[in-house]
Amino acid sequence: MFVPESLGPVEISVTREQLVRYAAASGDFNPIHYDTLTAQSFGLPGVIIHGMLSMGLWDLLFVPFYQEGYRITQFHARFRQIVQPSQLILSGTVNSPGPAELRVTLAAHIKGESKAAVTGEAALVLTPRASHGTATGQVRP
């Protein structure tokens, strides 16, 4: 597999519906993530994306690696500022210390700003693919 030096940039438009669905999935129903008046009453400019959602969106950058059999073995992120919907640009820089290992430095920027709002790092390892069937499509025991 060709391993690119960089990933992205990918611009993400997070909708209000996605914020509500994420709140339901995560159990984080803090209204600053979906109610503008509540968010503004706390001094925010409007609703903000859940920190864990902004971090989880990086997964979109890893899809080509997953398809080749890579799996995440380490991951961490640092939240540097709030992020509003429709403002997130995701990118990454790839370092390959070995043929079966990738290290990715990640950044999520607010559109129009140079300083990253969220930064992170991930390690991915190539795992051997198991055979799940035969040429006839039968499942092996």
CB atoms within 10 A of CB 131: 7
pLDDT tens for residues 12-69?
999 999 999 999 999 999 999 999 999 999 999 999 999 999 999 999 999 999 999 9
102 contact partners, CB below 8 Å, separation of at least 6: 3, 65, 70, 94, 95, 96, 123, 124, 125
Residue 134: per-residue pLDDT: 47
97 contact partners, CB below 8 Å, separation of at least 6: 103
Is residue 45 in a domain?
no
pLDDT tens for residues 80-135?
999 999 789 999 999 988 879 999 999 999 999 999 999 999 999 999 875 455 44
Q: What is the count of structural domains for the chain?
A: 1
User: What are the tokens at 41?
Assistant: 């009453």
Q: For residue 73, what is the domain's CATH number?
A: 3.10.129.10
The boundaries of the domain holding residue 117 are 6-14+50-126
